[in-house]
Structure 1
Amino acid sequence: MADQQLSAPSRVPSGIRHVNHDHRRGYVKIGNHLAQHRELSMAAIGLATHIQSLPTGSKVTIKALAERFPEGEVRIATALRELERHGYLARFQERLPTGRVVTCTVSYNNPPEMAEASRERRDPPRRPEPKPTPQPDPEPEPEPEPAAESVTPEAESEARELLARLRLRDPRLTLSERDTVRLAPAAAEWLERGLAPSAVTAALTRSLPTQTIHSPAALLAHRLRELLPPRLPDPWASDPAGPDRTVHPLRTCDGCERAFRSPTPGHCRSCAPPPTAGTATAAA
C-alpha cells in the first residue's frame, strides 16, 4: 500500500501583515508623506509623530524632549532641523508685551508643499499653452537732453571740445564720441549764457562722487540740466564775459619777508625801491 502523500502547506507571503482596528480615542493621524518620507531619518519621523500628538501649548524645546526620550540633545536638535527643512516644523522668536523674548513652535501635519503635491496628483494640471517666443528687449533710449535755445555752431563746437577735455580733469569722465555729440547742445547753452569754459568745467567736475562712476554721460546730463544758470538781464546780455581773474601765487618779500602775491619773486610794494628819475622821465 502506497504511503499517503500530505498536501504541501499553502505558501505564506513574506513581508509585513497588518491587523488594524479602529481607534476610538487617544490617536493621531499622520500622512504617508511623513510616515514614508524618503529624506527624513527615523528619529525625525518619530519625533514629528510625537509632536503632532501633543496638545496645544506643550513644551517641545530640545531640553524638554531630551528629558522625555532616551536620545540626547544633539540627536533631537538634528531631527528638529530636519523637520524644519522639510516644512513640518517652524520656529521663530516673538516678543511678549512684557519685553521678554520667547521661542514659538508651529507644527504642520500637512506642509504646504505636500498639500500642493497632493492636489496635483488628484487634479492633474492642464496642458500648458505654448508660450510666445520672448522678443529681445529693445535697447533703452538715452535720456533726452534739455533743448538748447538757438545755440550757434561755434558754441556747440566749443562745447564738444570742453566735454572731450573733461577726462583730463578726471579719467572717470571719459565720454564716447556719441555721448559728446549728444551732450554738446546742452553744454553750448551754458556758453551762450555768458559762462567761461573754465566755469562750465568747474561746475561739471565739482564734488564728484568718490565711488566708481558707471555712467559719466548720465551724470553730466543731470548736472547740465539741473545746474543750468539763468540768463542775465537784458542790460548785461550784450556785455561780453570778461577774462578769468588770474590769482598769482604767494611770494616772500626779499626785504621784510612778508607774504604777497606777485607773478614774479622780489619785493612787496612797501619794500620796492622807488623808480629812478631816468625811469620816470622815460615813462613820462
Structure 2
Amino acid sequence: MATENSISGLPSPAHPLANPGYGKRGTPDQGALRRDSFAHLPLRARSLAGFIDALPEQAAIDAKTLAKEQPLYGQAAVRSALNELSAAGHLRRVRRLSEPGAGDGTTRWVFHTYWSRVARDDDWWARFLDGDVPEPGAEEPQPQQPRSDAYRRLAQLGLRDPRLTLSAADCATLEAAAAEWIAREPDSQLFTQAMTGGLPATVHSPRAFVAVRLRDKLPPRRARAAHVPVPTTHRTLVECTDCGRPGRPEALPGGLCRGCRSDLDKR
C-alpha cells in the first residue's frame, strides 16, 4: 500500500530532465518532508505531490512526462492533479522576459515551473515572483549600509578635496538637504562642482560650509512636462497551470485562469 506522500515507490534515477528553463525549480524555506506534508490534498494530488517532491531540480514535470513515468494516473488525471496542486499553492508555472542577449540583442521569454513542498498563498507567490523572496542558493542579504546616493556623494567630497572631508555623522546630518539638491539636479558632476568649486584656503567647519552651499546653490525646481503614460512590460508572468494562458499573479489566483478554475470547482 502506498504511503500518503508517494506513488508506489520513488521516481527512478532515469526520470527525464526538461529542456533548460522548463523543469522543476525549488523555492526557499521548504522545510523537511513530513508524513503529513501533503495530507491536506485530495488523494490523487497527494500522491502526485510526493512523486514530484522526490524529483531532482530540472526534472520534467509536464503532464505528459509525469503520466509516462508513474504507474497510477494517465495524462488527463495528471493534468487535473497538477491543477489541484496549483490551486493549493504548491506549484506555479511562469514565464520571464530575459535580458537582451549578447549576440543579437533580442529579448526572449524563458519558462520556469516552481515547486514548493509548503503550500503558499497567492501573496507569497506574487512576492516571490517579483523578487522579494530570494531563490534557493541566492546570497544572503548583506547588512544594509547607510549609503543613499546623497550620503555617498557627501562622503566622496573629501576624496575630491580634503578640505571638505565629512564624518559619518556629518553626512547623516546633511543627507536630506543633499537629497533635495540631487532631486532637482541629478548630475553628480554638477553636484561635486557646486560643493568644491572656489573653496577658501581653509575650511574650518566642512559640515557648516557644505550646509551653506547646499542651501545657497540649490537648483530651481524644473517645470514638469506633461505626463505621458508609458506602457508597462511586465518581466514576469504566471502561466495558467492548465491552459498556459499568461497573466500577472493577481489575475491568476491559485495559478489558474478563471475558466480553468471554474472547471476545477465543478469536478
Give TM-score scaled by structure 1 length: 0.28
Query: Which protein shows a greater Rg?
Result: 1
Greater RCO, CA 8 A, separation 6+ = 2
Give TM-score scaled by structure 2 length: 0.29
